[in-house]
Chains A and B, each alone.
Chain A
Amino acid sequence: MTRIPLWDRKTTLAAGSLSFALATAMPLAAQGYRAEVTVGASYLEVRPLVRDSLPGDEVEGTSLRRRLPDGTVVTCVQGDFCRWFRAGEVEPVHVTTQEARVTGWSGIQGLSARVHVRGRYGTDDFWPQSSEKFEAVSAYLDYDRSLFRARLGRLVRRDGLGYYNFDGAAFLWRKWDPLWLEAYGGWSLARGLNFPRSSDLLSRADPLAPDDRGFILGAEAGARIGSIASGRVSYQREIRTDRLALYTERLSLDVRAFLGPAVVEASGEYDFSFEQFNELRARVNMPVVSRLEATAEARHHTPFFELWTIWGAFSPVGFNEGRLSLAWSEPSLGLQLRAGGARRSYEETSAGPADSGLRDDGWRTFANADWRGGPWFASAGYLGERGFGAARFGGDLRLGRFFAENTYLSLRGTATQTFGEFRLNEQVVSGVGIDGAIGLGEISLNAGGAVYWNEAEERPADGDWTQVRIYGSLSYSFGTDTGGQR
């Protein structure tokens, strides 16, 4: 298996920034550093599906769909084999991550360095990306003054186009408060990867992955009207470094306002390449009567695909969704109840047989109760989701107790019935678990575990499907705190 090099240019960048942060942490006024180191480990038992078969003449019946003596549904081809999928042997998976975050203040007013790096060690990538050895999530210098802010390095951004990082620089200008402007540019990274699109990670997953990384250029403007309303518009363009093609070109607009007792939101994401809105959303939340509030939302969604893929040319259609929910809360009781539902309908696809029986709508219903009373807390939730590709109906229960501010223990139970519209997988997954945390000043420990089992209607062979999940993490924070990690 191809491995990401242990030490490369990114590592140099991260290590350089880290060194800067620490080296400049001299005990002068306003100098200092704050670090947090987290070591986490997970253990999972996974039972992959494996294909099994029997000669057709060993299975009773003559139809395409037959049943084995134990009830397992199999698909038979006349004169050939009957095939089905069953749970395979347990595949133990462990993933260990080490994360370090360091913020160093230089002693020069407004100048700091911030680094977030991650190391991984896992079981041969059975769990995705678990064997990557090192990645830099962010590593940048930050110079923040009242009128402007400049950043240089591997930056993380959060805006209407999502949460992503890139290598480059950003400059924020806020002289004309309440208006702010920001421009940024550099080399882009693949979303959710912390690596360029041309990295092995992507090419291993898709033979048509880009062979060239991309430039990213963007600008945004935002304005705030007191504490009443605020909005931001962001434009972004990603292009191959050989400039032969675009990867993305998008615009987002997000507006939020407090109009009397109502919270009003509107947001949109527009894809210039296909000249369509990928996301349009309007939401209003307002009190109905005392303690009871309602949220209504209208949404349009069309899938977005980057231009290095062919998916956008497949003319995916979107859906329109309406959602309504009610929430009642009583702080003196520490109780909140929520319930609601949503319905969506898909646009005309102009594809496939009209009588395929495929749903062109979907709906969702949910109800939740959360309670905190003294040291105790509890929650219960139900979710029903019916769509054209999959459905689930089930709920969770949890009861816990705080023993100190950051120390708690809780028990949980879950049961969910799932359906795959395209699969033979009607099943009920049940589980019980325990989780907790211990906070001891700068040290915190989180840990938990659960065991799950299922009852498969159409695949009795999956009966022995029991899986165990265990996780734990230990965090240690140290150093001074001269300004918070914003």
Chain B
Amino acid sequence: MSRRALLTLLTSAGIGLTSGVVVSMSRSAGFPHEAHAGLFPTCLGCHAGIPEGDEDRYFSVEPRDCIRCHDGERGETVDWTAPTRTASNLKFVHVRHMEAVDTAGDEDLGCAECHGPTQPDQPRMAIARAAPEICVSCHAHEVPEHLAGEAVCATCHATLAEVPELSVTRVAEFPQPPTHAAESFIVSHGEMAEAQLESCAVCHARESCTRCHLNAEGLDVIRSLAPDQRIAELVAGRAGAWPEPESHGEQGWEFSHAERVVGGSQSCASCHAEPSCRTCHGEANIPQITALPDSSRVGLAGVTVPRTRAPGHIPDFASQHGAAAAANLPNCTSCHVERECAACHEAVPTRSAQGNAPVSFEPPRSGYHPASFVLRHGAEAFAVQSSCADCHSTEAFCRSCHQNVGVAVGVADGAGGAFHDAQPDWLFEHGRAARQGLEACTSCHQQTSCLRCHSAKSGLRISPHGPDFDPDRAADASLQSCAICHTARQILP
């Protein structure tokens, strides 16, 4: 069996690596092994306890052994003490590792395999701590380096929960794998966490996740991480980070995102609370939105969607949305409810048209028309900027008011209304204006006003029909209308 296969076996079996040993030696002074190369033919002379698993004899020499040479005469005196044990999250235990290697029947792993020279030209006693790269070269499928993305941390390291002795300072010094610095990591780390949560737990606790994840309570992978006061201290006061995923920058995302969350908004809930959606969707009762976390309860605001004009809403949309509403693009009911339409379209003088969807730069408004519109609406009515008749009955609303305020007064008795008081010869000039702005004319004049002259039955019998008028077509549509001005003899064949 090859060494690689052996160690892979060891890893999978967890032999020798799951003891939970969480101590290591301090690196304080260090022993100058190379200087003593001629004195110590074997490692076990000083480290006799290691193959036996006797921790008390990991260092089987004492300072008095040094004095045999460093007595001040043969050699200068030295002040050496064996390293003390400090807390560590390393799971390595020499004796178990050796036993596992023996059991596997692989070649003998001597001390130098991990601690000896790493280069051919180095002296025999070029001793060093076992570099993590040596461990991962076998245990983590020969990844190129200790902190590589493919490395399985939990193979060699205990989780934070298993090492309560580690100080906050030590935890804070944990190196950050380069993979974590990648821009895409924050989006993709979820899958990694689900695949090897124990590895994440080497450095992270639940507080690492709840700093950003609004839906932490609902995610099994986060719930399975233990809370840890040390991590809580380290993340305290640090704002959540919610970088924009690539998908959100796709063209049309503002419309297509609804299709992405049809299956559930759990992935959105990592970053978004209900208010994120309400900025655009107003009060609309959408299950995917109401299923999002309550930001006040979880204590995280999540992504704040900036106030802007709603997607697909072109400028001046309030008065120009007819085609959009008819085509229903974007889907109106995603953000609006019926009563919002009614607030403007049903002409009642007192109501609020302040929309439920506050996505607008525009200030709140009361009603469709701006204040004082009734005092100055003439020009807009002539220009037919919007269809007045969609909401107002020309006869019962416009005409009634115009008569009451005196603009159309006197029309019925032929005295002329105030609206034409600047044109005494209006009667002879009105034809062109009437054809250009007949909608405006009807807001004051009854049909009978015109029939005094424009009837084939009586009066001046002046034809109002234009050159393109098709009497047959008109008769087909409504013979009754023809009969208002014409006798049966005139219109029937």
Give the residue of A88, A227, A309 whose beta carbon is less than 8 angstroms from that of B481.
A309
User: Is A38's beta carbon under 8 Å from chain B?
Assistant: yes
A137-B346, A245-B477, A424-B421 known; A389-B251 Cβ under 8 A: no
- Chain B residues with CB under 8 Å of A234's CB are 326
Bound-complex Cα distance A328 to B226 (A): 50
From residue B113, how far is it (CB to closest CB) to chain A in Å?
60
Give the residue of A230, A331, A371, A410 whose beta carbon is less than 8 angstroms from that of B308.
A331
Bound-complex Cα distance A364 to B384 (A): 12
Give the residue of B284, B306, B371 whose beta carbon is less than 8 angstroms from that of A450.
B371
Bound-complex Cα distance A394 to B373 (A): 12
From residue B116, how far is it (CB to closest CB) to chain A in Å?
61
Q: Which residues of B250-275 have CB atoms within 8 Å of chain A's CB atoms?
A: 251-252, 255-256, 258-259
A352 and B410 contact, CB distance less than 8 A: no
- Chain A residues with CB under 8 Å of B46's CB are none
B477 and A249 contact, CB distance less than 8 A: yes
A372 and B363 contact, CB distance less than 8 A: yes
User: Is A420's beta carbon under 8 Å from chain B?
Assistant: yes
B433 and A352 contact, CB distance less than 8 A: yes
From residue B28, how far is it (CB to closest CB) to chain A in Å?
54
A349 and B421 contact, CB distance less than 8 A: no
A256 and B473 contact, CB distance less than 8 A: no
Chain B CB within 10 Å, residue with most, of A41, A275, A408, A446: A446
B446 and A97 contact, CB distance less than 8 A: no
From residue A132, how far is it (CB to closest CB) to chain B in Å?
10
Binds A, one of B70-78, B190-198, B199-207, B328-336: B328-336
- Chain B residues with CB under 8 Å of A11's CB are none
Bound-complex Cα distance A278 to B407 (A): 28
From residue B366, how far is it (CB to closest CB) to chain A in Å?
6
From residue B149, how far is it (CB to closest CB) to chain A in Å?
36
B337 and A311 contact, CB distance less than 8 A: no
A49 and B409 contact, CB distance less than 8 A: yes
Q: Which residues of A395-426 have CB atoms within 8 Å of chain B's CB atoms?
A: 396, 398, 400, 406, 408, 410, 412, 414, 416, 418, 420-424
Q: Which residue of A lies closest to B438 (CB)?
A: A316
Q: Which residue of B lies closest to A65 (CB)?
A: B424
Bound-complex Cα distance A334 to B361 (A): 6
B361 and A371 contact, CB distance less than 8 A: yes
From residue A308, how far is it (CB to closest CB) to chain B in Å?
7
Give the residue of A228, A435, A484 whose beta carbon is less than 8 angstroms from that of B371.
A435
A46-B405, A244-B479, A317-B436 known; A274-B326 Cβ under 8 A: no
- Chain A residues with CB under 8 Å of B375's CB are 416, 429, 431, 452, 467
- Chain A residues with CB under 8 Å of B323's CB are 160, 254-256, 265-267, 281, 283
Give the residue of A202, A256, A398 whose beta carbon is less than 8 angstroms from that of B327.
A256
- Chain B residues with CB under 8 Å of A228's CB are 252
| Interface 1/0 per residue, B400-434 and A, CB below 8 Å | 11001111011000010011111110101111111
From residue A257, how far is it (CB to closest CB) to chain B in Å?
8
B393 and A193 contact, CB distance less than 8 A: yes
User: Is A84's beta carbon under 8 Å from chain B?
Assistant: yes
A315 and B469 contact, CB distance less than 8 A: yes
From residue A173, how far is it (CB to closest CB) to chain B in Å?
16
Chain A CB within 10 Å, residue with most, of B329, B337, B397: B329
From residue B342, how far is it (CB to closest CB) to chain A in Å?
7
Interface size class on chain B is: 35 or more
- Chain B residues with CB under 8 Å of A79's CB are none
User: Is B65's beta carbon under 8 Å from chain A?
Assistant: no
A129 and B397 contact, CB distance less than 8 A: yes
A192 and B251 contact, CB distance less than 8 A: no
- Chain B residues with CB under 8 Å of A207's CB are 446-448
| Interface 1/0 per residue, A57-76 and B, CB below 8 Å | 00000001000000000010
Bound-complex Cα distance A191 to B396 (A): 10
- Chain A residues with CB under 8 Å of B432's CB are 349, 351-353, 356, 358
B351 and A473 contact, CB distance less than 8 A: yes
User: Is A8's beta carbon under 8 Å from chain B?
Assistant: no
From residue A436, how far is it (CB to closest CB) to chain B in Å?
9
User: Is B480's beta carbon under 8 Å from chain A?
Assistant: yes
Binds A, one of B86-94, B125-133, B140-148, B312-320: B312-320
User: Is B40's beta carbon under 8 Å from chain A?
Assistant: no
From residue B379, how far is it (CB to closest CB) to chain A in Å?
4
Bound-complex Cα distance A241 to B309 (A): 46
Binds A, one of B158-166, B293-301, B460-468: B460-468
Binds B, one of A12-20, A23-31, A120-128, A146-154: A120-128
Bound-complex Cα distance A44 to B327 (A): 39
From residue A240, how far is it (CB to closest CB) to chain B in Å?
8
- Chain B residues with CB under 8 Å of A158's CB are 325-326, 341, 345
Bound-complex Cα distance A398 to B338 (A): 28
A191-B393, A370-B361 known; A314-B326 Cβ under 8 A: no
Q: Which residue of A lies closest to B420 (CB)?
A: A422
A245 and B436 contact, CB distance less than 8 A: no
Give the residue of B351, B354, B382 whose beta carbon is less than 8 angstroms from that of A388.
B382
Give the residue of B308, B338, B434 whose beta carbon is less than 8 angstroms from that of A485.
B338
- Chain B residues with CB under 8 Å of A128's CB are 396-398, 400-401, 404
B405 and A433 contact, CB distance less than 8 A: no
Bound-complex Cα distance A159 to B345 (A): 13
Q: Which residue of B lies closest to A254 (CB)?
A: B326
26 CB-based A-B contacts, threshold 8 Å:
A91-B404, A97-B349, A163-B345, A163-B391, A164-B390, A206-B399, A207-B446, A228-B252, A230-B328, A232-B326, A232-B327, A232-B328, A303-B438, A304-B389, A315-B435, A315-B465, A331-B307, A350-B435, A362-B383, A371-B361, A385-B383, A398-B363, A422-B433, A471-B349, A484-B285, A486-B285
Q: Beyond the given A308-B480, A486-B285, please list 10 additional residue pairs across the A-B interface where CB-CB is below 8 A.
A: A51-B406, A208-B446, A230-B327, A245-B478, A267-B322, A313-B465, A389-B440, A390-B378, A467-B375, A471-B366
